[in-house]
Amino acid sequence: MKILVPVKRVIDYNVKVRVKADQTGVDLANVKMSMNPFDEIAVEEAVRLKEAGIATEIVAVSIGVAQCEAILRTALAMGADRGLLIQTDQDIEPLGIAKLLKAVIAEENPNIVLMGKQAIDGDNNATGQMLSTLLGWPQATFASKVVIEGDEAKVTREVDGGLQTLEVKLPAVITTDLRLNDPRYASLPNIMKAKKKPLDTKQVADYGIDVAPRLKVLKVAEPPKRSAGIKVADANALVAHLKTAGVL
């Protein structure tokens, strides 16, 4: 069984982002970039399926700037077998990414696409759902448990109010939630080995797909700041303040 794992290079989750003064976007110059945390969980799950003898090959794909190669190398160091970088300097919306991934899938024929439920930069939570729609495959999103049984995946999903379990026929798209697993750190020997694993590079133009943005970003602004609060001496003072504020 072959698993395709799309991975995105995003600003590291610990970085406090700064909005550019001219409101054209967020300042990404000299900021630490990493693999999107949900994608790490997807890579980890794929590697575990390989270790369990279920998956035979894991292909990691990233779409973006040349530096995405480093993110693909991380996926290879975690245990992916091959990488594919589809290079572009353009920011592509989830619909365009889904269309490109569909074209990759037509070439690679994976049995499962495992991907993050959302990227922590755009916070869209959409690409996996769009991809499965375009493919006509089932989707199982926000997965906290994945069990492969023959040509089906039994997936427990995090939904409002609790958990839901679905069975989807493969091939399918599965998106990961935080509690699916704890991703491993790549060991130094594996990082060295990853440097020798195959990594192809293509251009977005090679696919002949229209990925022009549908949304024009008019501005990116800072959210309203909260005015500074106060420290109170004890619980009685707190209750008095809350009564004055009218929330008790």
Partner 1 sequence: MAVLVIADHDGAHLRDTTLKVLSAAKALSPDIDVLVYGAGSATVAVQAAKADGVRKVLTAESAGLNADIAEDVAALIAGLAASYDTIAIPATAAGKNFAPRIAALLDVSIISDVMEVVDANTFVRPIYAGNALETVQTSDTKKVLTVRPTSFAAVAADGGSASVEAASAAADFAGTRFVGEEKVTSDRPELGAAKVVVSGGRALGSAEEFHAVIEPLADKLGAAVGASRAAVDAGYAPNDYQVGQTGKVVAPALYIAVGISGAIQHLAGMKDSKVIVAINKDPEAPIFQIADYGLVEDYKTAVPALMAALG
Considering only CA atoms, which of 166, 183, 184 is closest in space to residue 174? 166
179 binds partner 1 (CB under 8 A): yes
Question: What is the DSSP-derived secondary structure letter of residue 207?
Answer: G
166 binds partner 1 (CB under 8 A): yes
Place of tokens 């004890």: 234
Residues 170-189 that bind ligand FAD (CB under 6 A): 178
Q: How many CA atoms lie within 13 A of 18 on its CB side?
A: 9
Q: In angstroms, what is the minimal distance from the CB of 25 to partner 1?
A: 8
CA distances from 113 to 80, 82, 98, 248 (A): 13, 15, 12, 49
> Taking a C-beta distance cutoff of 8 angstroms, is the pair 178, 143 a contact?
no
Which ranges of 12-168 would DSSP assign to H, the alpha helix?
A: 37-51, 68-78, 94-108, 127-135
Which of residues 9, 42, 75, 142 is near partner 1 by CB under 8 A? Answer: 142
Burial class (CB in 10 A: 0-12, 13-18, 19+), 55: buried
- Map residues 75-104 to x or -, x wherever contact with partner 1 holds by CB under 8 A: ------------------xxx--x------
Which of residues 57, 125, 145, 197 is near partner 1 by CB under 8 A? Answer: 125
* Closer Cβ to ligand FAD, 216 or 226, answer by number: 226
37 binds ligand FAD (CB under 6 A): yes
- Map residues 226-245 to x or -, x wherever contact with partner 1 holds by CB under 8 A: x-xxxxx-xxx-xx-xx--x
Residues 26-65 that bind partner 1 (CB under 8 A): 26
Q: Which does 70 bind (CB under 5 to 8 A by kind): ligand FAD, partner 1, none?
A: none
Which of residues 54, 120, 134, 166 is near ligand FAD by CB under 6 A? Answer: 120
* Closer Cβ to partner 1, 127 or 199, answer by number: 127
Report the run of H or E that residue 235 belongs to, with start and end: helix 235-244
13 binds ligand FAD (CB under 6 A): yes
HEC string of 145-196 equals EEEEECCEEEEEEEECCEEEEEEEECCEEEEECHHHCCCCCCCHHHHHHHCC
- Distance separating alpha carbons of residues 158 and 145, to the nearest angstrom: 9
Which of residues 67, 90, 164, 187 is near partner 1 by CB under 8 A? Answer: 164
Q: Which does 219 bind (CB under 5 to 8 A by kind): ligand FAD, partner 1, none?
A: partner 1
Q: Which two tokens stand for residue 3?
A: 């698993």
- Binding footprint of ligand FAD, residue count (CB under 6 A): 4
Report the run of H or E that residue 247 belongs to, with start and end: none
19 binds partner 1 (CB under 8 A): yes
* Closer Cβ to partner 1, 74 or 139, answer by number: 139
247 binds partner 1 (CB under 8 A): yes
